[in-house]
Amino acid sequence: MRSVIDANGHPVDYDAATEAMDKDLREEVARSVRPEDAQAFFESYAARHAQKYLQPFAPYTGGGNW
């Protein structure tokens, strides 16, 4: 399991988090951040998700049962 760190310093299963991402938005972020850099990609996606949906990306903020 590949892990990334959420906003609260907790490990998150990166593969599970990417499955929870909006496909179109994930592809948009992939054009500017290499998915191989999992932490940077995770953080960039979370920021874009918050801008687009006006709510945080739950896997990044540790919210709920995503």
What pLDDT digit, counting tens, does each position of 26-51 carry? 999 999 999 889 999 999 999 999 99
For residues 7-15, give the mean pLDDT.
95
Residue 12 belongs to a domain: yes
Domain that holds residue 55: 3-61
Q: Domains in the chain: how many in total?
A: 1
- Is 66 contained in some domain? no
* Domain-located, residue 18: yes
Asked, for residue 26, whether it belongs to a domain, the answer is yes
**Residue 46 burial by CB count (10 A; 0-12/13-18/19+): exposed, middle or buried?**
buried
63 pLDDT more than 80: no
